[in-house]
Amino acid sequence: MRLKSKKRTVKNKIPSIRFGFGYDVHRLVEGRKLFLGGVHIPSKIGLLGHSDADVLLHAICDALLGAAALGDIGKHFPDTDAAYRDISSLKLLGQVGILLKKHGYQIGNIDSTLILEYPKIAKYVDLMRSRIGKVLHISPQQISIKATTQEGLGAFGRREGCAAYAVASIAGITGM
């Protein structure tokens, strides 16, 4: 006599490492403050946008959101919503960090590059890393910020705008 056994479906929890890519660009104009990486950089020109137009933080937000397959910054903080008018992008980044945590992810690292002819940002990089780390509750050692110029070529070389690229890794536990 054979005993019938109940089949059980067991979901294994496995670690998941994911990567995301972000990019942002804004026009440089007179009469706006320049914010990069959550830091006010003294300059006669600033970035034009609905929020504070911090291209670096916007690219990082998109990289983190992309890694978690949660859309992009425009989905979560649309420029048609007056609530985000002139908002600090550090606040937006903080909300992205909360969203990642809510979905069970933690940040591994962030690597970013600014494309900017002027002003030079080298002396602000450590402060940027510190502010980003504080708002995301990670170590500044997990954050890389680099900058390069366009050697005078193209729109960025003519100081018409600024762009940023970012890659982020996140880890979480997923069911199989």
Higher-confidence residue of 44 and 153: namely 44
What does the pLDDT read at residue 164? 98
Tokens read off for 151: 């050697």
Confirm whether 2 is domain-assigned. Answer: no
d(CA 30, CA 44): 6
- Average the pLDDT over 79-99 and give the result: 93
Confirm whether 107 is domain-assigned. Answer: yes
Q: Read off the amino acid at residue 39.
A: V
Q: Which domain holds residue 33?
A: 13-175
Confirm whether 8 is domain-assigned. Answer: no
The CATH number assigned to the domain holding 74 equals 3.30.1330.50
Confirm whether 155 is domain-assigned. Answer: yes
Confirm whether 79 is domain-assigned. Answer: yes
Q: How many domains does the chain have?
A: 1
pLDDT at residue 15 tops 80 = no
CA distances to 17, 103, 136 from 84, in Å: 31, 23, 19
pLDDT at residue 1 tops 60 = no
Query: From the DSSP assignment, how many helices (H) and strands (E) are in the chain?
Result: 5, 7
pLDDT at residue 50 tops 60 = yes
Confirm whether 126 is domain-assigned. Answer: yes
What does the pLDDT read at residue 8? 52
Angle at 97 between CA 92 and CA 103, to 5 degrees: 125
Confirm whether 4 is domain-assigned. Answer: no
What does the pLDDT read at residue 6? 54
Q: Which residues contact 98 (CB under 8 A, 6 or more apart)?
A: none
pLDDT at residue 41 tops 70 = yes
pLDDT tens sequence across 115-174: 999 899 999 999 999 999 999 999 999 999 999 998 888 888 888 899 999 999 999 976
- Answer yes or no: are the C-beta atoms of 86 and 52 closer than 8 Å: yes
- Answer yes or no: are the C-beta atoms of 119 and 159 closer than 8 Å: no
Confirm whether 1 is domain-assigned. Answer: no
Q: Which residues contact 121 (CB under 8 A, 6 or more apart)?
A: 36, 37, 41, 114, 128, 147
What does the pLDDT read at residue 176? 42
- Give the SS3 label for residue 116: coil
Helix, strand, coil content of the chain in percent (nearest 5) = 30, 35, 35
Output phi, psi for 146, to 5 deg: -125, 165
In the 8-state DSSP scheme, what is residue 31? T
